[in-house]
């Protein structure tokens, strides 16, 4: 199935389009089954979305916050109050400003050793989604960004996590960063109801073109691994990223 591609004029329009997708999917999921689960992305582009969700009164009223559960696609090996923490960014931009119960925030514990954090996160996922052995969680929505090197979440080119087929979350050492990350794996992302890439800026245009139009080479372009098996794949691009 080919991805749906939506091109908007500006970063602000991108945030607005993503916010409406988020609100509509949250409301629909809660109406259909009583709960909404989302895996958040880090980075500048998602931050604009999170701020808009907190600032827009109409959107705030549409989202069933108390029935929404927030997870993260990846995390840095830092405490939750560290400025590099993906949790900290989402907490500051959005979650501390809306009526989400603390119990609905399922963060990756980046203050732990990466392997320990990955194992703890897998246990959290198994408990929340009531998973049987070898089953995968099914998020209602996954938000992802795209790096200029073709990475997404903490699935970086040439790293071991790209080949993981059984684990839900892994510690992934990234040589070029000189650090370990904790990331959900491609099979988890590909089991979601909907995956949305949010891509903004001319510095992402070359990677975007290679991922969507180039030869399939996920070892070099890990974002190509994201191909939902029984779900939707959408890309929301601003004009600079789409050129």
Mean pLDDT of 144-153: 98
CATH for 12-225, options being 3.30.70.260, 3.40.50.1360, 3.40.1350.10, 3.40.50.720: 3.40.50.1360
DSSP labels, 77-134: SS-TTSTT-HHHHHHHHTGGGTT--GGGB----TTS-HHHHHHHHHHHHHHHTTPPTT
**Domain ranges within the chain, ordered by starting residue:** 12-225
pLDDT of residue 2: 86
**Model confidence pTM above 0.95:** yes
59-91 pLDDT tens trace: 999 999 999 999 999 999 999 999 999 999 999
3-state class (DSSP) for residue 223: helix
């Amino acid at each position: 199935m080919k991805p749906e591609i939506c091109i908007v004029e500006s970063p602000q329009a991108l945030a607005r389009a993503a916010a409406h997708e988020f609100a509509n999917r949250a409301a629909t999921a809660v109406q259909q089954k009583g709960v909404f689960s989302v895996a958040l992305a880090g980075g500048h582009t998602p931050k604009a979305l999170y701020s808009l969700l907190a600032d827009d009164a109409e959107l705030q009223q549409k989202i069933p916050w108390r029935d929404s559960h927030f997870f993260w696609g990846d995390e840095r090996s830092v405490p939750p109050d560290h400025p590099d923490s993906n949790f900290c960014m989402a907490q500051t931009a959005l979650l501390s400003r809306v009526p989400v119960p603390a119990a609905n925030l399922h963060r990756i514990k980046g203050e732990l050793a990466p392997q320990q954090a990955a194992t703890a996160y897998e246990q959290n996922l198994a408990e929340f989604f009531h998973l049987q052995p070898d089953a995968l969680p099914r998020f209602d929505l996954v938000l992802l960004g795209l790096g200029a090197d073709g990475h997404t979440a903490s699935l970086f080119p040439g790293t071991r996590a790209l080949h993981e087929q059984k684990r839900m979350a892994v510690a992934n050492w990234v040589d070029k960063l000189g650090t370990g990350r904790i990331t959900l794996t491609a099979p988890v992302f590909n089991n979601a109801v909907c995956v949305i890439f949010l891509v903004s800026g001319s510095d992402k245009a070359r990677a975007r073109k290679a991922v969507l139009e180039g030869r399939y080479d996920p070892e070099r372009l890990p974002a190509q691994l994201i191909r939902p098996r029984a779900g939707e794949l959408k890309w929301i691009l601003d004009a600079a990223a789409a050129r």
